[in-house]
């Protein structure tokens, strides 16, 4: 009796995808455990945060910057850069993205901060600095975890980085100096120029983007497309999760004392931020669906409109108001709220895919 042939062993890429899905299933748990570990280290072992703070150059914390750059490298190495011209031909979605990022997002943050923090002008200003800084870093990871289009996300992030150089100073003047007195709020003069924004863009987007592009262009030519897709990309894939968890532990350890010492102030800042993330994501996703965007492009649209460039917001707050100011504190609390909010929205995106796009 002939025997049935053994099934062929799965390809390396298939094995990596299977391992990644197993990691993804526990991702929310790992992130919340990393948050708890960071808070515990910062509160019970203050020397940890002191050691992390020691490696700070200007307004850049080196361990945090390294974590962010390493975290972004695998998603950017997977981007098919040759497809980016097709992304920019989708004029309606590009226009919607720019509207959400540079009109709706800043005005929504202004409205929430004015409504919920009228008696806390420092926190109000700190939230506005976050709302004006459109995300160019961690959004690539959230988009990747939600199976969004890497090409569309990379294109929008690059476009937002250009607009950030041009419009961040103008919007900071308009929403912090001109508009508040018209509504009976205290105005603030924030002198921000292109030179203040450019280092953040170069460090947190330019460096990992250049590394990702160089890897795809150079390694595919050297070792071939099959090796790059099936061996190299699966090998570097776990770096994103490891670097993400490391970054979360570092961020939360730096604020462990404050999170425990003044929790009410953290909650004051968290409320408008939580509302902002939820409203921006579901509004963006709904408008993208209304325009007929496929799930992958719509997810990239929603996450790039929802995330914020907290590195830039913190740098501006520290540079203008000082390290121990309320504005800087609000800027630091920003990513502490964004991380759990965005990981929950990753799960929300997957749920919306099952409900709205008929995908099991």
Segment 285-295, tens digit of pLDDT: 999 999 999 99
CA 298 vs CA 106, 156, 207: distances in Å: 20, 12, 26
What phi and psi, each to the nearest 5 degrees, are found at residue 359?
-115, 130
- Which 8-state DSSP code applies to residue 134? B
CA 211 vs CA 83, 143, 216, 237, 313: distances in Å: 18, 19, 9, 15, 25
Tell whether pTM > 0.85.
no
- Which 8-state DSSP code applies to residue 185? -
- Which 8-state DSSP code applies to residue 82? G
Q: What is the pLDDT of residue 231?
A: 94
Show the low-confidence residues of the chain (pLDDT under 70). Answer: 1-26, 59, 189-195, 323-324, 359-360
SS3 breakdown of the chain: % helix, strand, coil, rounded to 5?
80, 0, 15
Contact between 44 and 261 (Cβ < 8 Å): no
- Bridging pattern class, strands 60-61 and 56-57: antiparallel
Q: What is the pLDDT of residue 153?
A: 92
Distance of CA 210 to the CA centre of its chain: 18
- By the 10 Å C-beta count (0-12 exposed, 13-18 middle, 19+ buried), 360 is classed as exposed
Domains annotated for the chain, with CATH where assigned, are 53-229+272-354 (1.20.1530.20)
Q: How far apart are CA 192 and CA 26, in angstroms?
A: 41
Q: How far apart are CA 220 and CA 235, in angstroms?
A: 15
In the chain, the DSSP E strands lie at 56-57, 60-61
Paired tokens of 251: 């961020």
Q: How far apart are CA 310 and CA 313, in angstroms?
A: 5
Paired tokens of 2: 């002939």
CA 232 vs CA 13, 110, 220, 356: distances in Å: 10, 44, 10, 34
């Amino acid at each position: 009796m002939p025997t049935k042939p053994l099934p062929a062993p799965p390809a390396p890429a298939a094995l990596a995808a299977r391992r990644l899905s197993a990691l993804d299933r526990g991702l929310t748990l790992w992130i919340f455990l990393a948050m708890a570990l960071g808070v515990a280290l910062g509160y019970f072992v203050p020397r940890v945060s002191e050691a992390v703070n020691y490696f700070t150059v200007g307004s850049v914390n080196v361990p945090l910057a390294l974590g962010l750059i390493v975290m972004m490298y695998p998603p950017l190495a997977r981007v098919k850069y040759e497809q980016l011209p097709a992304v920019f031909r989708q004029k309606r979605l590009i226009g919607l993205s720019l509207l959400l990022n540079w009109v709706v997002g800043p005005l929504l943050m202004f409205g929430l901060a004015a409504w919920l923090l009228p008696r806390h002008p420092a926190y109000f200003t700190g939230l506005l600095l976050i709302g004006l800084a459109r995300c160019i870093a961690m959004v690539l990871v959230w988009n990747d975890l939600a199976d969004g289009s890497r090409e569309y996300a990379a294109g929008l992030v690059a476009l937002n980085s250009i607009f950030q150089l041009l419009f961040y100073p103008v919007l900071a003047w308009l929403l912090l100096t001109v508009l508040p007195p018209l509504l009976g709020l205290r105005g603030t003069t924030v002198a921000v120029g292109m030179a203040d924004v450019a280092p953040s863009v170069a460090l947190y987007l330019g460096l990992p983007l250049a590394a990702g592009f160089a890897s795809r262009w150079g390694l595919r030519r050297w070792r071939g497309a099959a090796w790059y897709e099936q061996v190299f990309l699966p090998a570097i894939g776990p770096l994103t999760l490891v670097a993400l968890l490391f970054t979360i532990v570092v961020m939360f350890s730096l604020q462990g004392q404050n999170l425990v010492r003044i929790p009410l102030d953290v909650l004051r800042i968290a409320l408008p931020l939580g509302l902002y993330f939820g409203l921006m994501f579901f509004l963006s996703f709904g408008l993208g669906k209304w325009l007929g965007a496929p799930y992958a492009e719509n997810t990239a649209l929603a996450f790039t409109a929802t995330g914020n460039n907290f590195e830039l917001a913190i740098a501006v707050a520290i540079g203008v108001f000082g390290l121990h100011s309320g504005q800087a504190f609000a800027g630091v609390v920003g990513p502490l709220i964004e991380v759990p909010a965005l990981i929950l929205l990753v799960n929300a995106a997957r749920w919306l895919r099952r409900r709205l796009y008929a995908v099991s």
